[in-house]
């Protein structure tokens, strides 16, 4: 949507259009999604967010996930640029992430169930979009 609207209406109106689309979808979600359990108000404190980082396994897991995310998702940003550099048209290059996601989801569906239960395969299903 962004790639096709950009030359027609300009950057500012493309961003506004995306924002209005998100607003419309969020309004639908707000009125249709219900909580499974009633909310229990608790006092909010900042220290509660940093307290788990005192445990060494949790801290290492958090740092590992942070660096894993950088290693997996940052190359997605350069996928379109590299495709254009190698000679692919700009219109087709913009669909590279969607093509990669479609190929990856097929691989995840065809793998044995024992591998699909690993935490890495669940993390691989989270894919960025551009």
What are the pLDDT digits (tens) for 31-89? 999 888 888 888 888 888 889 999 999 999 999 888 888 877 777 778 888 888 999 88
Half-sphere exposure of 91 (CA within 13 A, CB side): 3
- Same domain, yes or no: 85 and 126: yes
Contacts of 3 (CB under 8 A, 6+ apart): 90, 91, 94
- Same domain, yes or no: 124 and 73: yes
Give a yes or no: residue 51 inside a domain.
no
Question: Widest CA span of the chain, in angstroms?
Answer: 57
- Same domain, yes or no: 71 and 119: yes
Give a yes or no: residue 45 inside a domain.
no
Q: What is the reported pLDDT for 130?
A: 42
Q: What is the reported pLDDT for 22?
A: 95
Give the pTM.
0.46
Counting the structural domains of the chain, the total is 2
Give a yes or no: residue 52 inside a domain.
no
Domain assignment of residue 80, given as a range: 63-130
- Same domain, yes or no: 75 and 19: no
């Amino acid at each position: 949507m962004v790639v096709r609207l950009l030359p027609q209406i300009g950057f500012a109106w493309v961003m506004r259009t995306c924002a209005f689309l998100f607003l419309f979808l969020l309004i639908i979600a707000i009125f249709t999604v219900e909580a499974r359990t009633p909310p229990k108000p608790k006092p909010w404190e900042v220290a509660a967010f940093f307290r788990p980082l005192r445990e060494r396994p949790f801290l290492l897991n958090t740092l590992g996930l942070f660096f894993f995310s950088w290693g997996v998702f940052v190359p997605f940003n350069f996928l379109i640029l590299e495709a254009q550099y190698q000679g692919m048209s700009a219109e087709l290059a913009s669909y590279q992430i969607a093509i990669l996601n479609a190929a990856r989801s097929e691989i995840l569906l065809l793998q044995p169930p024992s591998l699909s239960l690993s935490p890495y395969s669940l993390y691989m299903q989270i894919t960025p979009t551009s």
